Chains A and B, each alone.
Chain A
Amino acid sequence: MTQALLEKNAENPAVKGDLLEVDHVVKEFKVSGGFRKSSAVVHAVSDVSFSIREGETLAMVGESGCGKSTMGRLILQLLELTSGTIRFEGRDLGELSGEELRHIRKKMQIIFQDPYASLNPRMNVFQIISEPLTTHRVYATQKETEERVRELMRIVGIRPEFINRYPHQFSGGQRQRIGIARALALNPKLVVCDEPVSALDVSIQAQILNLLHDLQKEMQLTYLFISHDLGVVRYISDRVCVMFLGKLCEIGQTEDIFKDPLHPYTQFLLAAVPKPDPHLRREKKALLKGEMPSPVNPPSGCRFHTRCPYATDRCIQEEPQMREVRGRRVACHNVECLTIQ
């Protein structure tokens, strides 16, 4: 099944033009250095550009703290950009007025990582799922709203009888389904899934992933799927972009990247995935050495050079730009040499 699904993903006919364009986006957080110290700047996202096509699933992978979640929140305008532009359906989100932004929020929603923090413990399921509907006054009457909430509950697989229950009465997987129902209430086009399954146990993960996959087909959704779990990413995504310390390393079709990773960081990331087959575990893994550099004081040139075994003087001095290599985009000076090796 896996293979069939992956092939299907590779040539997903639902994928159309660009829905979202992220253009040279920068996000810096100021952190005060304490009393009488100059404040430092965390470079969470630095000059990132990519686009998401309508109907596809773009996965964003990288280790903790690399800026993936920040990127998701920037797209949803939950954080303000430091510079750059994000265009949704061709419109620059930064230039929208408050009311226009409210309107466009209907088309972009988010599913969170922690199903225990993402639902208000003092609201019942009806109040949680209906909040988007009542906020945008989608239905005139309470009855219609309730009907829609019940429908959404059926869609995500929660029994509609539980409409008056509170979040703590559900399991983690069910809570995540409630979160999904809330995100889908307004029929969005783009859903940012911020590690939607990493807080769930493996069998529930599979259920939620299947649900997301089915919903995508039924509702023509576009996903930005943020995750650090490469197995999940391979299963669900059409394309993958790899982030390291606020920068994009590589972006391309899922199968290309998994079969033939070009950027050294991607290679190490894939090598670090635990293998389920015990016989394959014997071979020695090439693992990255050293700590992740601090985003407060990122390395010069290529941000990966401090940990990259292939780094040259050029990597230390000159920042690599994204360029097209064998059907995908990579930011590495030495891609060609690495491929020959």
Chain B
Amino acid sequence: MQEAIQAAEFAEETTRFMPPREDVEAELLDDTSIWSSLKSMLKNNKLAALSLAVIVIVILMAVFAPIVAPYDPNFQDADNLRFAAPSMAHWLGCDELGRDVFSRLIYGARVSLVIGLVPTLIAMTIGTVMGLMSGYMGKKVDFIIMRFADIVLAFPSLLLAMVVMYTLGASLVNIFIALSIVKWAGTARIVRAQTLSLKEKEFVEAAKAVGVKKWIIMMRHILPNCIPNLIVLFSLNIPDSIMSESSLSFLGIGAVPPSTSWGLMVYRGKQYLFNYPWLTLAPGVAILILVLAFNFLGDGVRDALDPYLKD
């Protein structure tokens, strides 16, 4: 400590109120808004940019399906086109009822995209709010929310979704409800765990000492620090939702025939896998590409939002 006091005397005249030199030399950061950092991320991260393009194309295809699709997805020509192999006329061949697989893929994207995104968003929003409250408030709130989460997690998720679907009947909105009920608990658990560690941090104590209100602390200090995990979770949950929907469709309580989804197409084609592989390959590869695109984009967005990686 004696050195410290001597150094203090020395520092008195020279370095008082002066920041260390590294920062004098470092350039200034002026633009730090979220949009600009996302833009520069897309510029630098080619994979994320490509993924975004893929997602946009799939969305556009789904929206403009009647224009893009070469055939009516439900038109059957079982006599001539049953299991027709891919050709110039039918790019991805035809299925067991002689329907054009490519057209069905385009129409199926509608259901699959919506099912991939909407229940995931709903479930994660509920899960995040529950997890934050549970972790931050603790005690009784924590106990009640976590016991509900335990109940949900204790059931096999498909079984629980089936129960909900059988009770409510097969429809798109009911699929949202079923999948949201099944999925919120996982997010809640993860957010709660993060909240528990974050709320002990000194910056949260500082906010409390200033008199910042509880819910503002949750929104301003805790939630933003959970975002990286939430983005990863989001990109992992989308394929999960798509696959869950296909399981439900397979059991006859998901997308209702003749309308279709990618998951349903995979399940329908499965029985012909050895003789007519395009029936499963086409939607399977489509799911794979979409899922990868969401994952890569999620990675990119997470990095762009991380202040540590900004420079």
Contacts and interface: CB of A to CB of B under 8 A. Distances in A.
Interface string A79-110: 00000000000000000000001100110111
Contacts, number: 144
A210 B4 contact: no
Contacts of B1: 202, 229-232, 234-235, 273, 276
Interface string A151-176: 00010111101101110111101100
Interface stretch (A131-139, A253-261, A319-327): A131-139
A135 B211 contact: yes
Interface stretch (B14-22, B141-149, B164-172, B279-287): B14-22
A196 B257 CA distance: 68
Interface in B2-29: 2-5, 7-9, 11-12, 15-20, 22-24, 26, 28-29
B46 interface: no
A209 B4 contact: yes
Given A106-B211, A108-B209, A122-B225, A171 B20 contact: yes
Contact of A131 (B2, B8, B207): B207
B16 to A, nearest CB: 6
Interface string A132-150: 1001100000000000000
Contact of A206 (B11, B19, B216, B307): B11
Most buried by B among A2, A105, A158, A210: A210
Interface stretch (A21-29, A46-54, A112-120, A281-289): A112-120
B144 to A, nearest CB: 19
Given A1-B9, A102-B211, A159-B23, A122 B206 contact: no
Interface in A158-208: 158-159, 161-162, 164-166, 168-171, 173-174, 179, 182-183, 186, 202-203, 205-207
B12 A166 contact: no
A121 B201 CA distance: 11
Given A114-B202, A162-B28, A168-B307, A2 B5 contact: yes
Contact of B8 (A112, A169, A207): A207
Nearest to B210: A132
Nearest to A197: B4
Nearest to A112: B202
Contact of B11 (A135, A159, A210): A210
Interface string B232-260: 00000000000000000000000000000
Contacts of A165: 29
B79 interface: no
Contacts of B39: none
Contacts of A112: 202, 205-206
B225 to A, nearest CB: 6
Contacts of A120: 203, 220-221, 224-225
Nearest to A171: B20
A124 interface: yes
Nearest to B8: A206
A117 B203 contact: yes
A78 interface: yes
A165 to B, nearest CB: 6
A71 B22 CA distance: 37
Interface residues of A, number: 64
A168 B308 contact: yes
A202 B8 CA distance: 9
Nearest to B1: A231
A174 B221 contact: no
A102 B216 CA distance: 14
B8 A164 contact: no
A132 B221 CA distance: 14
B206 A121 contact: no
A76 B11 CA distance: 32
A157 B17 contact: yes
Contacts of A171: 20, 22-23
A170 B19 CA distance: 10
Contacts of A161: 28
B208 interface: yes
Contacts of A169: 23, 26, 29, 311
Given A117-B201, A135-B210, A124 B32 contact: yes
B212 interface: yes
20 contacts: A78-B208, A105-B211, A113-B202, A117-B202, A131-B210, A136-B210, A136-B211, A154-B17, A156-B17, A158-B19, A159-B23, A162-B23, A171-B23, A179-B206, A202-B4, A206-B5, A207-B11, A231-B4, A273-B1, A276-B2
Interface of B: 1-5, 7-9, 11-12, 15-20, 22-24, 26, 28-30, 32, 201-203, 205-212, 216, 220-221, 224-225, 227, 307-308, 310-311
Given A122-B227, A173-B20, 9 more contacts: A101-B211, A112-B205, A117-B201, A118-B203, A122-B224, A166-B307, A202-B3, A231-B5, A235-B4
